[in-house]
Amino acid sequence: MILLLLTAVTLLTLSGRGFGPLDSVRSAVGSVLAPVGDAASWATRPFSNAWDSAFSHDDLVAANQRLQEENDRLQGQVTQSAIATEQLQELLALVSIPFVGDTPVAHTRVVAGTAGNFGDTVELDKGSDAGIEVGMPVITGRGLIGRVRLVSASRSTVELVTGGGFKVGFLVIGTSAVGVAQGDGDPSRLRGANIDIAQPVTEGQIVVTAGLRGSSFPPNIPIGSIASVRSDDAARQSTVDIDLYASTRDLTYADVVLWKAAN
């Protein structure tokens, strides 16, 4: 035992001092055992990775959820900004509408029927307290969208121009052609009739309210443009399809023209 102990001490001392023969032996042994160590490391690596993955999976899921929430929040901000911009542009378009001239208007907000406005009416947030009366025209910055059907002190119900019961007399700009336009449920188009065939009209011409005596609308409110023309020689009349300038869907703001037809 004493001999083994002395041998061990001697070897440690020589190793510490860099004894050449011993270093050579140790290097040779290391070279022989190195492939064994590499193979063991390669064999155990999948288990090590699986172990790490098992304990880091929850962290990865949590991090992914945080990133998704942040992405959703940013997308929401972009959408809200786009909505605000659209509403601002729509509101600015109502501030100065040249086609109503000096006729006063009541600026209103649509408070019902805004989810696509798939009915024939919408409700506004102002009524008789703002000077609104039944029959008054309702417009946007692009043109006619309807007329007031019902009024209370603080609310108005508007009949949209695209509804089947709505009729409006029109004039084709650049001609003497007049007719009557009526909605048929199409959200972007009216059908015009009773045009004298002797008054030729063509696609693309502008259609405005005629404002004839007894009309419910003042003259020159834009309605739309002629999309197609059909002539009936036997009846001596033409009919047209009119593409509306103003959208009657997804309305958020509207103006009521405070105009009453002369008796």
How high is the pLDDT of residue 91?
57
Q: Which residues contact 183 (CB under 8 A, 6 or more apart)?
A: 160, 161, 162, 163, 164, 166, 190, 191
Is the model's pLDDT at 123 over the cut of 80?
Answer: yes
More confident residue, 167 or 95: 167
- Segment 145-167 shows an average pLDDT of 92
How confident is residue 212, by pLDDT bands cut at 50, 70 and 90? Answer: confident
What are the start-end ranges of the H helices in the chain?
A: 2-16, 20-95
How high is the pLDDT of residue 222?
92
- Segment 52-80 shows an average pLDDT of 67
| Sign of the C-alpha dihedral computed for residues 164, 169, 173 and 175 taken in this order | positive
- Neighbouring CB atoms inside 10 A of 166's CB total 19
Is the model's pLDDT at 118 over the cut of 50?
Answer: yes
Domain 102-257 part of CATH 3.40.50.970 = no
Give the residue from 190, 201, 204 showing the smallest Cα distance to 242: 190
How high is the pLDDT of residue 166?
84
Domain with CATH 2.40.10.340 in the chain: 102-257
How high is the pLDDT of residue 182?
93
How confident is residue 206, by pLDDT bands cut at 50, 70 and 90? Answer: very high
Is the model's pLDDT at 16 over the cut of 80?
Answer: no
Which range has the worst mean pLDDT, 29-38, 137-146, 236-245? 29-38
In this structure, are residues 148 and 136 in contact, taking their beta carbons and an 8 Å threshold?
yes
Is the model's pLDDT at 202 over the cut of 80?
Answer: yes
